[in-house]
Amino acid sequence: MTPASSPVPQGNYVPAKRFGGLVFVSGMTPRENGVLTAVGKIVEGEPVERYRPAVELATRNALLAAQAILAGGEVLAEAVSLTVYLNTTPEFTAHSRVADFASAVLAEVLGSIPSRAAVGVSSLPGGASVEISLVAGISPSD
């Protein structure tokens, strides 16, 4: 990924915060140009593939927020920890399958997959269907 501007916060927080060699990314939803593109519940019985675009967009937004924190000559070395929040109905149980879409983006972009939690929740900000939080390691570029 090429450096770009960080997603705009939807509240009183920063998109990403650095501590030493780590960057902690706030929860990122599937927004394009500030507009939420995927809202509503993730429901049992729907093909999980339906939720891929939202998860991928939210994950790429998390990567953009992380990259915006980097100093010159630094790169994101690897994803360390990933939390995937899913706005689900109570009967939904395929959390890991949906979260796998986020892991795949990180593997594609950073070449590694992180430790991960996939959590079903009753609601997310703005009614988003997914929210991604990421911790990534920083290293000097080669």
Judged by phi (left if over 0) then psi (alpha if -120 to 50, else beta), residue 124 lies in beta
Residue 1 has pLDDT above 70, yes or no: no
Question: H helices of 3-115, where?
Answer: 52-68, 95-110
| Radius of gyration for the chain, computed over Cα atoms and rounded to the nearest angstrom | 15
Residue 140 has pLDDT above 50, yes or no: yes
Which tens digits make up the pLDDT trace of 72-115? 999 999 999 999 999 999 999 999 999 999 999 999 999 999 99
What pLDDT band is residue 121 in, cutting at 50, 70 and 90?
very high
Which tens digits make up the pLDDT trace of 35-64? 899 999 999 999 999 999 999 999 999 999
Distance of alpha carbon 4 from alpha carbon 9, whole angstroms: 15
Distance of alpha carbon 70 from alpha carbon 137, whole angstroms: 11
**How much is the pLDDT for 5?**
58
Judged by phi (left if over 0) then psi (alpha if -120 to 50, else beta), residue 95 lies in alpha
Distance of alpha carbon 38 from alpha carbon 21, whole angstroms: 32
Domains and CATH numbers, the chain: 16-140 (3.30.1330.40)
Burial class (CB in 10 A: 0-12, 13-18, 19+), 74: middle
Query: Model pTM?
Result: 0.92
